[in-house]
Amino acid sequence: MRRIKRIHFIGIGGVGMCGIAEVLLNQGYQISGSDINDGPVTKRLRDMGATIFIGHAESNVDGADVVVNSTAVSDSNPEMVRARENRTPIVRRAEMLAELMRYRHGIAVAGTHGKTTTTSLIASIFGEAGKDPTFVIGGRLTSAGTNARLGESRYLVAEADESDASFLHLQPMVSVVTNIDIDHMETYGFDEGKLKKTFIEFLHNLPFYGLAVLCIDDERVREILPSVSRPIITYGFSENADYRITDMSTSRNRSTFKLHRPEGKATLQIELNIPGSHNVQNAAAAIAVATDEGLSDEAICEGLSKFGGVGRRFEIYGEYPVSSGADRGGEAMLVDDYGHHPREVAATIKAVRDGWPERRLVMVFQPHRYTRTRDLYEDFVQILSSCDALVLTEVYSAGEEPIPGADSRHLCRSIRQRGLVDPIYAENIDVVPDIIRDIVQDGDIVITQGAGSVGKLVKLLAERKLQ
């Protein structure tokens, strides 16, 4: 991109945009960007030298050599309109990521669930091995304090986003598919066959000497396996997996397991400081990639045992005292999790049940998008009914118009009718701290769950110490 000097990002504060902007900034490009909100992400970029505009205006893009947008940015956005008037090239976020990957050894992690954690685990192992990878992750890697970094080596580890099929722009050397689930189906014309074909196309972007690393435990991944004409290694709990997980145990936020590897390689005994069988699968994917790249067993084991987690992925804030009063007192744990699909919520609940079987689970859940709530309504009802106590906030719209029958009031009513838990509806997220204060008991695990503004709620609960 030798002709490019200034790159402008519309929606630079977004989790998918800020990481690419940070890497390009560290490469010496002039970076500008706009966002409707000013927060820690935009402040960090500003401190690094980026020009940040709060709010969208036509003048923001004047002088830019290229404009980067995402599917969240509409064509009517004033900056999009001005960029077209100026005949400034407009590229999607994934196209810019593909440009970063072009001259590197790209490792792309795709899948409906587990992308962020798996990408982070791979980056951590490679860092422990001294490979200093460039990484672009959809969440803050705790050990690095950021979701992106420019490394010195040829490796680039990044998430591959299937939500808008933009991962088809990427041409990595290694592709991981953690799972394929029913989500973002508007992108695929509500056609499951098209969804699976798109994942096959993504894998066929690999060169003939590349590598597909696939979770054989997932039903839809197994269904596409015969159609993938690239080198494949599989991982999972299945006896048919090339990298096979056995002897898994979970205690609190710690998981241990054995991983049996192919071609006579030594079986590894792994310790992981994050709970849940889904995270054990994610770690197995990372080990498979690292082993194939020739990293040492010591680096693999150390990288995983030192892994400090990812922001908003079962992030434990700590234990806080329960309000004093009749039959009150003791402590409750506060946890935050980004999962917003029924399968992700179920994985969080299972991690709690496996790791802390004696404790009560109190969940504050904010549904994300009316379309997802509508399409997966019965799954949400079933999964959320397994909580011991449940607070439902109104749907985080993500720009969507409300859909009759797909809001939290209806969800609350349907869950109550099942008779397993009596949910509390919170029309305004600001009232949730008072609700939690009134219902929390000694030993509870309180989880704020969802991809929207509930991520800010956990900080307020922590500041108030559940009071």
Catalytic, 298? Answer no
The DSSP string of 192-227 is: HHHHHHHHHHHHTTS-TT-EEEEETTSHHHHHHGGG
Q: Which residues contact 85 (CB under 8 A, 6 or more apart)?
A: none
Helices (H), 29-133: 40-48, 78-85, 93-101, 115-128
| Cα three-residue angle 97-189-35, rounded to 5 degrees | 40
Per the annotation, the verdict on 115 as an active-site residue is: yes
Catalytic residue list contains 116: yes
Q: Smallest Cα–Cα separation from 156: which of 141, 139, 171, 177?
A: 171
Catalytic site residue from 42, 116, 118, 134: 116
Q: DSSP letter string over 243-309? A: EEEEEEEEETTEEEEEEE-STTPPPEEEEESS-SHHHHHHHHHHHHHHHHTT--HHHHHHHHHT---
Q: Which residues contact 397 (CB under 8 A, 6 or more apart)?
A: 369, 370
Catalytic residue chosen out of the listed positions 22, 79, 128, 159: 159
Copy the structure tokens of residue 17.
């945009």
- CA separation for the pair 213, 157 (Å, rounded): 14
CA-closest candidate to residue 261, choices 240, 287, 242: 242
CA distances from 348 to 142, 300, 303 (A): 19, 25, 23
Residues 282 and 170: their CA atoms lie apart, in Å, by: 21
Positions marked active-site: 115-116, 159
